[in-house]
Structure 1
């Protein structure tokens, strides 16, 4: 378990629409913008190697603003391509609440963050005691057919609850606002219920409505 005191109060931020990282999950990313290449270079010099993934969202005036809750990931693998891009993998450590945004001499944003509300993220895998896997996979199959998605169904049947639910939350092509709702779900059960709602909504034809 990662202790609260082991986490920094300031981390670099990577706003990326639709990208969702969850605790104990892994997210592959391709880094190519100069400002984020600079961010990665600095991150790799730190002992914790943390990057805060966070959703940009439109404010009341239409200007982009950052969501207040994101998830920090540790860089656990990286490689450089011939054309100067980096392929990295983040391991989800904990969600955070964003306080003050910091823009200084660095070309990328950082933020003062609080980890206080998310101690559970830094423990072991969660269980979902009310999970009806058979009904869930039946709905998932209908959703994948409708969205023309493919997967290894045998692996899904064998996956542990948290791995299954969180992987699908990260990979399914939901809107950024819906991804944020999945991130902010307080428990694995709530995230699964949100996931079911989103799939059922998509199967009914969707629309402009998003979860709040």
Structure 2
């Protein structure tokens, strides 16, 4: 394995949307959620995405994670909103795979898919709707940790799952919310609702609703 050290550039270097690129390579992948300041490890082995990582490493080191939503497996339909991440760790294995970590920078809307000659897809991203992603969130006016943990307890019990409650109790709220959004087996539509929630408060509230929906007798509604 040939590692390259952690990327010294962090989200703090992206202070405004003008710092972000006008074009962005996208990686459609069902169920893999990226949020600002959240790390996502990836195992890259498909040739077109190895090419994408090579090009990203030679340039901005940014790629856009978007949920694949069905259709042609070679060119799936994709959600309209994704999250751009910077390659912050990189290693090459002896069998030619890349093991990378993306760290989320900011979400984007796909304004246009570009006609390109690269084997991977590229888009024109719209950053304005999620410009606040570039700033650290304030953990005020969030749903209470107790409310979230109560919903998680009921969800875990109803689905006969296990949880590391010490980690749940000690994690910062943004970390806890993002970890649960990424780790719980929600449907693609439900996961996309979490990606598109405009604020951490809205994401936490959506998460609580989704947890309650899987608990018999809960008063939570349904998502269409």
| Larger deviation, residues 134-143 vs 176-185 | 134-143
Q: 5 Å matches for 1:138-177?
A: 138-177=150-189
Separation (CA, whole Å) in 2 of partners of 1:126 and 1:30: 32
Identify if the C-alpha distance between structure 1 residues 112 and 141 changes in structure 2 by more than 3 Å, giving closer, same or farther. same
CA distance in structure 1 between the aligned counterparts of 2:100 and 2:144, rounded to whole angstroms: 34
Q: Which residue of 1 aligns with 2:48?
A: 35
1:23 equivalent in structure 2 = 36
| Aligned match of 1:201 | 213
Q: What corresponds to 1:190 in structure 2?
A: 202
RMSD value over aligned CA atoms? 2.1
Unmatched tracts of structure 1, length 5 or more: none
> Does 2:82 align with 1:70?
yes
Match of 2:119 among 107, 122, 140: 107
Q: How does 1:51-66 map to 2 (within 5 A)?
A: 51-58=63-70, 64-66=76-78
Partner secondary structure for residue 36 of structure 1: helix
SS at match of 2:58: coil
Distance 1:157 1:41, change over 3 A: same
Distance (whole Å) between structure 2 residues aligned to residue 18 and residue 114 of structure 1? 22
Asked whether the equivalents of residues 79 and 87 of structure 1 are also in contact (C-alpha less than 8 Å), the reply is yes
Paired with 1:126 and 1:183, the residues of 2 have a C-alpha distance of 18
Secondary structure at the aligned position of 1:79 is classed as strand
TM-score (norm 1): 0.89
> Within 2, Cα distance between the matches of 1:128 and 1:16?
32
Name the CA distance, whole Å, in 1 between partners of 2:27 and 2:162. 29
> CA shift at 1:205, angstroms?
9.0
Tell me, yes or no, if structure 1 residue 8 matches structure 2 residue 12.
no
Change (3 A) 1:139 1:76: same
SS at match of 1:96: strand
Q: What stretches of structure 2 of length at least 5 have no aligned partner?
A: 1-11
